[in-house]
Structure 1
Amino acid sequence: MKKKVYKSPDVMYPALFEAIQLGGIFPDSKTFVDCIPKYSTEEILANYETLKNDSTFVLEQFVRDHFTVPGEHESGYRTDTSLRADQHINKLWPVLTREPEGDGGSLIPMPKSYVVPGGRFGEIYYWDSYFTMLGLHAAKEDSLIENMVVNFAQLLRDFGHIPNGNRSYYLGRSQPPFFSLMVELLADIKKDEQILVQYMPQLQIEYQYWMAARSADEAKGQMQAREKGEQAFFKAVFIEDDNILNRYYDENGTPRPEAYKEDLHTAELSNRPKDKVYRDLRAGAESGWDYTSRWLKDGVHLETIHTTDILPVDLNALLYHLESVLEKASRLAGKEEVAQSYAALKAKRKAIFDKYFWDNESGFYVDYDFVAKEKSPILSLAAVFPLYFEMASDKQAEAVAHLIRHVFLKPGGLTSTLDSTGQQWDAPNGWAPMQWMAIQGLRKYGYYQLANQAKTNWVNNCLRVYQNTGKMVEKYNVFDLSLLAGGGEYPVQDGFGWTNGVLLALLAEEE
């Protein structure tokens, strides 16, 4: 059976796509790329060519005649504000669950049911899903966790990586590699370490994707790039003699179809080659931190984005963990030589980690700009990842905890960065996944009081917004508790995946 080739809407309908996205037909660029065609691509394009110059032609009507426009996933659910927050979240799981469905436009079908972040979404998101799983486990919805792991394993088999989400327009990139944590969680739930062995082939595919070594051709391309003196090849960055650290990188140097108009505008403001700006915007989306001062050359303006020049501390800590899990899985499978090779790769990453990511001056982990050959001046909560994965020395953990206590801890939780730029991953916003990584990372080094204070502040902020609005939202202002609601770039919904998941997991902890 011939394998289906998934094409992004901008590739399928070039001129029509551009006319729609620039024509202001929909308020959100994501709407059209999620439309489901009623006819074949050829028919739609032929009809467009025939009709577009007619004096009676109306583009919006053409779109509605030829595509099914996605509505809100209307569930009929209405918040019952008499419910406690945990009861509200548990009632939401069926509302946020999507069943497997056939091909529809840009949607890539999944074999099993899955949980989406919120009501407007029809697709799963990669790193969001780990934090959603924490809540599913607290809710004893473990079969859904296993379904989602099966789905991600299938994506790895089919595409050689887990895309940002199961949409054709996300296939050029991934998201922070949390699959190894998902597999570990599932093994822990089932109390069966053989789960690591079961998913070892997919874990290896994920690793090869980030290391730009999925095939003989890719490995050869990497070797040639290094021989030519290039600094990087896809997501692999050559450090010193024979070391590799990693960056975010999208395979496409074009505007994101789901943010087409916005990306064109950003590139217009920049004085750099447009394909570089587009790739940096896409890489910023792959990071999950879209967007933040971490990726901005001047620390303020989006048009100075240079994500692909940066080695992110959190990404490299995640890949250290992936190497650790692959070492353990190989050993469990009786493949001692393979286990030793992963142990060596992990040791190499750890040996140079502090040189590139530890900043003595601030006493904090930071990102590294490998093009400028300097550490980033931006302090961010990504610094907790080395604590979460126990890569920090006791002295380093103490220094990180000191800054978290004195500058990151706010009345409503932990701020993502200290910079207020207007970007959503900067101050004054706090995000559920970073609260979880920080709380657990601090606990691993014995900073229980600080961790519990961060937990209390965050939980109370989420509960306060829920009591005022009946909603769980994407992100929260952690500075100002006078605000009634949190925030998000999406319309307010009854729940938001990782907020639901982390809050439920924190509420379920034994005090």
Structure 2
Amino acid sequence: MMRVKIESTLSKLLTQEDTDGDKKITIEDKGPKNFELVSDSGESMSIKGTYQLSNLLQELVIQKQEGKDIADINPDYIDELPAIRISRMIRDYYWNGLTRKMDKSGIVALISDTKNASLTASILPVYVPYTDELAFDYYSNLETSLPIKTVRLPEIITPEYVKSINDKPGILSLKLEMINGEVNGVPFVVPGGRFNEMYGWDSYFEAVGLICDGKVHLAKAMADNFQYQIEHYGKILNANRSYYLTRTQPPFYSSLIFEVFEITKDKDWLTSHLKTAIKEYETVWMVKGMRLTKNGLNRYRAEGIGVTPESEEGHYDATLKPYAENADLTINEYLAKYQSGEIENEELDTYFLHDRSLRESGHDTSWRLDDVCADLNTVALNSLLYKYESDFAHVIETYFDGEFNGWHSAYWFQVMHERAERMQELMWNEVHGQYFDYNFVKQEQTLFESASNYFPLWAGLVDSKEAHKMVKTLMQQLKERGGIAGTSKSMNANLPENAMQRQWDYPNGWAPHQMLIWRGLKNYGFTNELKELVYRWLYMITRNAVDYNGTIPEKYDVVAATHKVFAEYGNVGTDFEYITQEGFGWMNASYQYGLTLLDNTYLNHLNSLVDPEELF
């Protein structure tokens, strides 16, 4: 252990090694990559290499943030094997940086959130469900000490109401509980960066990582906040912001509660959540004419009126331009009249229905869903709902003797089989060896090659013969140097010239796709393919973290195996100084989960940074 003065060492280190001035030490810096670390007692140690120097920088900053002037530098941490270090940082550091509560401490942090900087007033609205008196009283009392305004939501929340508060955006309350006479927020994990709220499907994947790291209490708390949202807002929200009140996200609630229950064995907790999960299934997903279509399959179908308020200024200019020119108006003038209702435009209404539904799908944005989403029975959604039905069937049969609150396991077995048969009939393509989204308006498959076409492997709804065909197709169409791409290269070739790069499409890859496909491969015993895809993904994360000061971002270009993604919205998690405080939620989870799937031989290769192209 070496004791060094933090400020003087930091200054000397950055002056010598951070040649581009971004307060990180990466392979792009042109310093000597050889630093003489001197202790306060005069001892010295040479630290060589980008990775080792960035580790030193991180260790200094961690201890500075703890309020220290003198740092104890452990040489073992400087030369720590990469996979061990990344995993340790996620487990012991990043999860803490991503954990929030909706009590006073959490509200203070939200007031400074960049999404609130544009508020016309300096007061943050906190919207509270009509029936939550504890939350209303608690936040009302905070108004004397914090710049917030407590707003009680109406008993029935309509799209018209949500539109009426779009110019007063605020945060939605989550679960509070009274402990020893004091109100505390039930914790939740956020994705990171500008995503400083509890997001729908992100939360499930984060919970998988939390469980891997022995933090089941946090995974359980995430489920408790899901339950609060369903009971008070009618759905699991896209995120707990006021403009998301009419929009849900891909359903993973049953998977979350049963994975938590497998560890806690708390049957009372399971009973409570099972009631809520069935309620969500019935009232959010199985309402005819909404998210349930006439053919018995489901679609994403978000409600709302007009432009999505969270979109960046100018995002819809290309869509609005021809209508504005036809009306001899500027884009802004046309948009204002459309939003106020002065101009009616059914074509735009339909476009924004699809756009909201695309965002509800979590895949915002992808050419697969652009301007068509609400007309699609998607493979992904129907696989997730099959998993709900399967979970209900097996849990009721196993833990409730076949009957739960009037629901019989036999019923759930029946509906899951019926869904599988409908998917087989309308979505399975024998020639192409995969499932495709089904356009129920045109009554045809889309034939769009996507990672989401393989969710049936995760859900367990295919037979062995189909699984073998799917895995062969998967490895041929979507496997890239860094893992599975969101869509295939051939789909990009079909796009118009100069088409915008959509972030969920080729060449980009995303953690939820990898994690679901890994579990699907494991379900069906495809051990070799599983290890290869896990290794490719973890290698890419490890290589980028080693070369770029511990960077763990939202997404990757899996073709080039880099975090340098050139697509809409940028790449959250790359903009930090000295040390990432958080990584990125589901990326952290994919790393921790992936490590559990590799044996020691592959772990040794990973720590030695053996390129996957040398192994496979």
The alignment's TM-score, normalised by the length of structure 2, stands at 0.62
Where 2:588 maps in the other structure, the secondary structure is helix
CA, structure 1 residues 270+362, in 2 after alignment: closer, same or farther (shift >3 Å)?
Answer: farther
What whole-Å deviation, never above 9, does each CA across 1:232-261 have from its counterpart, x for those lacking one? x1111111xxxx211001111321111063
Aligned to 2:608: none
Counterpart among 52, 76, 95 of residue 93 in structure 1: 95
Q: Secondary structure at the match of 2:235?
A: coil
From 517, 521, 542, give the equivalent of 1:463.
542
SS of equivalent residue, structure 1 residue 259:
coil
Give the match's secondary structure for 1:441. helix
Counterpart of 1:249 in structure 2 is 301
- For residue 310 of structure 2, give the secondary structure of its aligned residue in structure 1: helix
Partner of 2:293: 237
* Contact 2:434-2:454 within 8 A present in 1 as well: no
Q: Say yes or no: does 1:500 pair with 2:588.
A: yes
Question: Paired residue for 1:306?
Answer: 372
Q: Quote the Cα distance in structure 2 between the aligned partners of 1:267 and 1:254.
A: 13
Q: Secondary structure at the match of 1:275?
A: helix
Residues 99-127 of structure 1 deviation map (CA, whole Å, 9 limit, x = unaligned):
22263561112221111101333311110
Q: Structure 2 counterpart of 1:100, which letter?
A: M
* Residues 457, 275 of structure 1: alpha-carbon distance in 2 compared, 3 angstrom cutoff: same
Q: Aligned ranges for residues 81-230 of structure 1 at < 5 Å?
A: 84-90=85-91, 91-101=93-103, 103=126, 106-111=170-175, 112-192=186-266, 195-213=269-287, 222=288
Instruction: Give the whole-Å Cα distance in 1 for the aligned partners of 2:523 and 2:462.
Output: 10
CA distance in 1, matches of 2:265, 2:79: 37
Equivalent residue in structure 2 for 1:394, among 464, 467, 471: 464
Q: Name the CA distance, whole Å, in 2 between partners of 1:312 and 1:81.
A: 47
Q: d(CA) in 2 for partners of 1:452 and 1:510?
A: 6
Residue equivalent to 1:348: 418
2:514 pairs with one of 413, 432, 435: 435
Q: Which runs of structure 2 are paired with 1:64-79 in the superposition (5 Å)? A: none
Tell me if the contact between 1:234 and 1:251 (Cα under 8 Å) persists in the aligned partners: no
Out of 430, 437, 459, the position equivalent to 1:360 is 430
Deviation per CA, 1:269-327: give whole Å up to 9, x if none: 5777111111111110111111112113xxxxxxxx11101110010010011112223
Kindly provide the amino acid, as one letter, of the partner of residue 421 in structure 2: A
Residue 407 (structure 1) aligns with: 477
State the SS of the aligned residue for 1:293: coil
Instruction: Identify if the C-alpha distance between structure 1 residues 279 and 262 changes in structure 2 by more than 3 Å, giving closer, same or farther.
Output: farther
- Structure 1 portions without partners, runs of 5+: 1-74, 214-221, 223-232, 297-304
From 324, 333, 340, give the equivalent of 2:390: 324
* CA shift in 2, pair 1:262/1:395, >3 Å: farther
Rounded to whole Å, the distance in 1 between the matches of 2:571 and 2:545 is: 18
CA distance in 2, matches of 1:377, 1:385: 16
Is 1:424 paired with 2:503? yes
Select the structure of larger CA radius of gyration. Answer: 2
Alpha carbons of 1:121 and 1:363: their partners in 2 closer, same or farther (altered >3 Å)? closer
Aligned to 1:381: 451
Which moves more between the two structures, 449-458 or 267-276?
267-276
- 1:16-35: per-residue Cα shift (whole Å, max 9, x none)? xxxxxxxxxxxxxxxxxxxx
Aligned to 1:12: none
Contact 1:327–1:338 (CA under 8 A) maintained in structure 2 = no
Whether 1:285 aligns to 2:344 is no
User: What corresponds to 2:607 in structure 1?
Assistant: none
Query: Structure 1, residues 111-168: CA drift from partner, whole Å, max 9, x if none?
Result: 2111110133331111011111111112211111111111110111001111101111
CA distance in 1, matches of 2:316, 2:476: 40
Q: For 1:460 and 1:204, how far apart are their aligned partners in 2?
A: 40
Residue 208 of structure 1 and its aligned partner are, at CA, apart by 1.4
Shift, 1:198, TM fit: 2.7
1:474 aligns with 2:554: yes
Q: Report the equivalent of 1:448.
A: 527
Count of paired positions: 404
Q: Separation in 2 of the partners of 1:247 and 1:259?
A: 22
Letter of the 1:490 partner, please give it: V
The residue type equivalent to 2:247 in the other structure is R
SS in 2 for 1:120: coil
Give the distance between the partners of 2:387 and 2:286, measured in 1 at CA: 18
State the partner residue of 1:45: none
1:67-99 deviations in Å (ceiling 9; x for gaps): xxxxxxxx969xx98661112212111111112
Residue type of the alignment partner of 1:428: P
State the alpha-carbon separation in 1 of the partners of residues 524 and 171 from structure 2.
43
CA contact (8 A) 1:96 1:119 kept: no
**1:199 and 1:293, CA in 2 relative to 1: closer, same or farther beyond 3 A?**
same
**Counterpart Cα distance in 1 of 2:563 and 2:450:** 26
Residues 1:333 and 2:413 aligned together:
no
Does 370-379 or 345-354 show the bigger shift?
Answer: 345-354
Indicate if the aligned counterparts of 1:465 and 1:471 stay in contact, CA closer than 8 A: yes
**Structure 1 residues 401 and 257, CA gap change in structure 2 (3 angstroms):** same
**Correspondence for 1:44:** none
The amino acid that maps onto 2:451 is: L
Residue pair 1:200, 1:329 contacting (<8 A) in 2 also:
no
Task: Supply the distance in 2 between the matched residues of 1:189 and 1:410 (Cα, whole angstroms).
Answer: 35
Q: Secondary structure at the match of 2:473?
A: helix
Deviates more, 1:323-332 or 1:414-423: 323-332
Which residue of 2 is the match for residue 299 of structure 1? none
> Which stretch of structure 1 is more off in the superposition, 111-120 or 100-109?
100-109
Go from structure 1 to structure 2 and tell me whether the alpha carbon gap of 1:458 and 1:491 turns closer, same or farther (over 3 Å shift): closer
Aligned-CA RMSD value: 2.3
TM-score normalised according to structure 1 size: 0.74
CA contact (8 A) 2:486 2:504 kept: yes
Residue 99 of structure 2 aligns with an amino acid whose one-letter code is T
Task: Indicate if the aligned counterparts of 1:256 and 1:263 stay in contact, CA closer than 8 A.
Answer: no
Paired residue type of 2:431: E
Give yes or no for contact 2:511–2:586 (8 Å, CA) kept in 1.
yes
CA deviations on 1:32-88 (whole Å, 9 max, x unpaired) are xxxxxxxxxxxxxxxxxxxxxxxxxxxxxxxxxxxxxxxxxxx969xx986611122
**Kindly tell me: are residues 144 and 329 of structure 1, through their superposed partners in 2, closer, same or farther at Cα, counting changes over 3 Å?**
same
Aligned match of 2:612:
none
| Deviations 1:170-229 (CA, angstroms, capped at 9, x unpaired) | 11111000111101111112145664423122101210133344xxxxxxxx4xxxxxxx
Distance in 1 (alpha carbons) for counterparts of 2:241 and 2:87: 31
Work out whether residues 554 and 573 of structure 2, in 8 Å CA contact, stay in contact via their aligned partners in 1. Answer: no
Q: Distance in 2 between matches of 1:171 and 1:269?
A: 28
Letter in 2 for 1:462: I
CA contact (8 A) 2:557 2:563 kept: no
Measure, in 1, the Cα distance between the counterparts of 2:316 and 2:241: 21
| Offset, 1:354 | 0.6
The SS at the match of 2:198 is: coil
Partners of 2:598 and 2:434 in 1: CA distance: 30
